[in-house]
Amino acid sequence: MQPIPSFCAPEPWPPVKIERPNERYAEEILSNVGACCSEMSAVSLYLYNHTILTQSQPDFSRIFQKIAIVEMHHLGIFSQLAFLLGADPRLWTACGGRPCYWSPSCNKYPTDLRALLQNSLDGELDTIAKYRCQAGQICDAYVTDLLQRIILDEQVHVRIFRQMLMQIAQNC
């Protein structure tokens, strides 16, 4: 399933493949699947935001739903990459050499609209920083191409959340 175009970057997707298996890279990419700063966290948070805004802010609710679909696409890509690199693509990450399963407790759940939007924006900015760092450390052109392409989508989300914050500031 391809994400909804206006909620992702227009650039084409590179292939989901790797140069060769690599345990260190697998662990890094697996953290994008099941760590607290991960696509799973984004998906769960945005579905939560979608749900709680359905009645009071239906337009914002739909935006969160559509962005969650884009994040699900990223989750699928990172799961495939982690598997190809040699990891078991469960919703987990390595913590001190031991597996740590993803939990909904990774997320903050503000219900105030401004705080909710700022929390979402901060998460996207943290994600971009994480993926840029990974792209600078991983020496596999296929993996770094995918990281760079996913960053483009996350930048679209940053712009959307900033626009939403500006919209509520203007309505106050």
Task: Give the list of residues 6+ apart from residue 99 with CB closer than 8 angstroms, or none.
Answer: 90, 92, 93
Domain map (residue ranges) of the chain: 20-102+109-170
Which pLDDT tens digits describe the chain residue by residue (172 residues)? 444 458 999 999 999 999 999 999 999 999 999 999 999 999 999 999 999 999 999 999 999 999 999 999 999 999 999 999 999 999 999 888 889 999 999 999 999 999 999 999 999 999 999 999 999 999 999 999 999 999 999 999 999 999 999 999 998 7
96, two tokens:
């001190």
pLDDT at position 60: 97
Residue (of 109, 154, 142, 106) closest to 15 by Cα position: 142
Question: Residue written as tokens 């990974």?
Answer: 134
Fold of 20-102+109-170: Ferritin (1.20.1260)
Can you give the pLDDT at residue 5?
Answer: 55
Per-residue model confidence (pLDDT) at position 94: 87
Instruction: List phi, psi (to 5°) of 155.
Output: -65, -35
